[in-house]
Structure 1
């Protein structure tokens, strides 16, 4: 029986072993995705060799991956925001729907509001245009020519639950920025790129003019302790805390970090006016994390523990640590992703 809330598209359900099958997982509840779905559905309905599953709830992603495991596609295309990608890769690693076999390569359409992961993988056109490129590559049997291994971050909240996997962890002002965008900017239907630039400018301005504990500041950060294996302990109040395996993040910023420590590139900026100013200038000049700056800490590693009671984010979704347990970030060897040429 088909699970409730799942819909099959294309020309029916192709049987297992279909050569170069393209499997597509769509999150129809993604707010940005709603405007792209009609064009995607038209594309899918006109082409053979596509197995399309639409989910209306994150809990249905595991069921969808189980269907894909039976169909054995050449590629799984994720059509949703960064949170959908995070839920999908977490289910692939924790639940192992493909058993002992490696899951197919993952391709990511730019269908969300932030699209950091999609953009980092070269997916920068409208979703239906990127899907068309993927479809032709898959039909030619050439998906393997575009694959790359991308390490991941496994986040353990200390509650005994399986880790959550993603590519971008943030705390302090990053969480404030996400909340500000959701509450103040996105409802105005401002273009995403403009919204992110506006939020960064607003938060940086507040950090330059207001104290970290000021009730007027949108960036109110509590003291935090960060323990990096091989990189020491950092205590303080921070404007930005982030750890990522992406090569580029918002607005094309490239997070530099030493290459020898591990797959996770970590940086934090102290919540002091001059430290924030130096960091913003470094971002604007494409040098963020490349050179040592007073008030900025840059490391790379494979194990980081963050002691905080404040909310944190992994790929845009917000989380809290369990009780007083630290949040543990571990480097994971990752999965295969499709990276498209620009």
Structure 2
């Protein structure tokens, strides 16, 4: 067994705390500061026979590593562990990883054959040209605006669950206020197809995830369950205040879908001119296929 540790030196916790373990010879370390350096590190890990990866960073670090695994490790996906060192650690929270879980503890656990494991498929976002990005939370429309608000919350000193709570509160205020024909409430025209003909209309928000438990107990997709799940909200959002309860608790009142709040399962295609966000980072829109990726094993 060989372990590779990818430590993001730019992650929130790692900028303040940089101790290194005294590791056995079968543990390799990398502290890549650029995307190119990350690719080089993963390539060297694969060539060295690494079959276990500890990802020391936030959700963005996980996204960047998973996106590069096909080009560096090929079809051989290593066993994974995540230490929550970023400003947002939604994946780690879903897996039940303690906020203070250290690299030392993760290395010890991932080398233990009897350590408990959990499986989560990632999301594959593929463009028309075949380029791939992998993550766990996809969103567009109001989700892009909310991500920018989250960055403001970080500047205010709110991180993790506190950041999610503050961002959600600010997003609700922005979504209720204002006119239907401009700003948040106007939404964005996009084409969405789920196994059939694409339908173009203004949508306030589209969000999808393969995670099972979201921060604050939010259940926008309904009951907690595995697999790729999505929520689409038409623009302008109707009965938004009334819908907050069902979207938080995961209930399914009969009026919810009629009001334009549609929950879905499985893969879909989406085309949009605006941006989309994958695990906290915004990318240009286009014609995209959003699907469940390979099942990944995480030591917890």
**Fold-level similarity (TM above 0.5):** yes
Q: Are the counterparts in 1 of residues 204 and 234 from structure 2 also a CA contact under 8 Å?
A: yes
Partner of 1:254: 219
Does 2:97 match 1:123? yes
CA radius of gyration, larger in: 1
Does 2:189 match 1:228? no
Partner of 1:166: 135
Query: By how many angstroms is 1:107 displaced?
Result: 1.2
List 4+ stretches of structure 1 deviating above 6 A.
289-292
3-state secondary structure, aligned to 1:223 = strand
How is 1:18-167 mapped onto 2 (pairs within 5 angstroms)?
20-35=1-16, 37-38=17-18, 41-42=19-20, 44-45=21-22, 49-93=26-70, 95=71, 97-99=72-74, 102-128=76-102, 131-143=103-115, 146-158=116-128, 160-167=129-136
Q: Which runs of 5+ in 2 are unaligned?
A: none
CA shift in 2, pair 1:57/1:301, >3 Å? same
Aligned residues: 298
CA shift in 2, pair 1:91/1:46, >3 Å? closer
Deviations 1:247-285 (A, max 9, x none): 12333323436999x94211112234544223322233x
Q: Are the counterparts in 1 of residues 137 and 210 from structure 2 also a CA contact under 8 Å?
A: yes
Partner of 1:213: 181
Partner of 1:265: 229
CA shift in 2, pair 1:192/1:338, >3 Å? closer
Deviations 1:278-319 (A, max 9, x none): 3322233x21668761320011022x1112111101111111
Aligned equivalents of 2:27 and 2:254: distance in 1?
Answer: 47
Q: Which runs of 5+ in 1 are unaligned?
A: 1-19
Aligned equivalents of 2:274 and 2:48: distance in 1?
Answer: 42
Matching residue within 269, 287, 299 for 2:250: 287
Partner of 1:317: 281
Matching residue within 146, 152, 155 for 1:187: 155
CA shift in 2, pair 1:339/1:139, >3 Å? closer
Q: Are the counterparts in 2 of residues 150 and 336 from structure 1 also a CA contact under 8 Å?
A: yes
Aligned equivalents of 2:63 and 2:77: distance in 1?
Answer: 15
